[in-house]
Amino acid sequence: MENIVGKIKKYLERLDKGERLEAVRADFVRELGGVDASEIMAAEEELLKAGTPLNKVQRLCDVHAALFKGKISKEERMKTSEALAGIEGHPLNTFMKENLKLRELIEECKKAPEKIQSVREIAIHYAKKGDLIYPLLDVKYNISGPSAVMWTTDIDIRNGINRLCKAEKKDEKWKEDVEKLLTMLEDMIYKEENILFPNCAVNFSEEDWQNIYMDSKDYDVCFGVENATWDGVKKAKEKAAIEGDIIKINGGTLSIKQLEAILNTIPLEITFVDEDDINRYFNEGHKVFKRSMTAIGREVFSCHPPKVSTMVRRIIDEFRNGSLDSVPVWMEKAGRTMLVTYIAVRDENDGYIGTLELIQDMEFAKEYFKQN
């Protein structure tokens, strides 16, 4: 293994010194009949650890996509990417479907460069990699190559697409730039499917994939590829629990002291009314709309004059029957512009469990837009 990694490093270093790609490729094919994804990544890891500048490793990575293409063993692909990507709803299944659609769009753009706008949604695909895959490989599995190299290339590609889409002059130079960018997209597809995804398949645990699956639902659909249901996946949500002064909820753990401080730090006046229309909570701090502790445990309608109470009752009734989810109300209070937002609070089964009232002083926004 170490011998092979050393040889790969030498090939990359030869390229970095300016040696012709064709000559290096010929020697590579002659000396190494095949190489798997883990060895490619290991070579990059050692180069980075040895102090090779990131921009050089990134350039070498772009080159070896062409250099190694077709040399990664079929057995490795079958064992890793194909195994997991064949499971409907698995994160790799979704990533591969997005790449399949991207390939189609790339071919269309080659024939009609002005369609470059069609690949902009790749930013969603790259965002998922950047948030869910690269940090996990880096922090949990100590594989920093992708986060250092591919992540940078993802950003370059995304910025390149935005620049080309915004360009007013669509001349020959612009078309050449489109062609270069399409090549970068193709190379990234190759690196994902033959280097990144196989290494994820080898290293990530079932729990890792389940967390990625659940987190992926928060992202917009990319290229029309919906997040299919992954049968058998265990729900990542844990039941809320309190152990001592620690509150465990889906999303993390907080001490009661931390939770209270967070709620009191949020720049909003927060009031919660439960499903029985009873005032249950308000946060502390200066309030434009005053709240008294005597209101806690009382019916919310008793806290308002008749005319306002009628409006509040109507809003809550519509929240309860599901015909309404939120109501924003702008008003002036004590000479300041205020935004009061009423929001229906629902459980995971979409059942109504209360109403949240959020009050925000919008004077800062008004002043900002006056000055700008």
Rounded percentage of the chain residues whose pLDDT exceeds 90:
43
Residue 24: both structure tokens together = 């290096």
Residue 264's pLDDT is what? Answer: 93
Residues in the chain: 372
Residue 122, class by beta-carbon neighbours within 10 Å (0-12 exposed, 13-18 middle, 19+ buried)?
A: buried
pTM for the model stands at 0.63
Domain 267-371 has CATH 3.30.450.20: yes
φ/ψ of 122, rounded to 5, equals: -60, -20
pLDDT < 50: residue spans in the chain: 1, 74, 77-78, 236
How far apart are the C-alpha atoms of 47 and 56, rounded to whole Å?
A: 10
| Superfamily of chain region 73-235 | nmb1532 protein domain like (1.20.120.520)
Residue 78's pLDDT is what? Answer: 47
Residue 74's pLDDT is what? Answer: 44
The packing angle between helices 21-31 and 54-67, to 10°, is: 70
Residue 1's pLDDT is what? Answer: 47
Residues 6+ away with beta carbon under 8 Å from 180: none
Q: Which of 347, 340, 343, 300 is nearest to 324 (CA)?
A: 343
Angle at 314 between CA 311 and CA 317, to 5 degrees: 150
φ/ψ of 227, rounded to 5, equals: -75, 100
DSSP characters over 57-75:
HHHHHHHHHHHSTTTS-HH
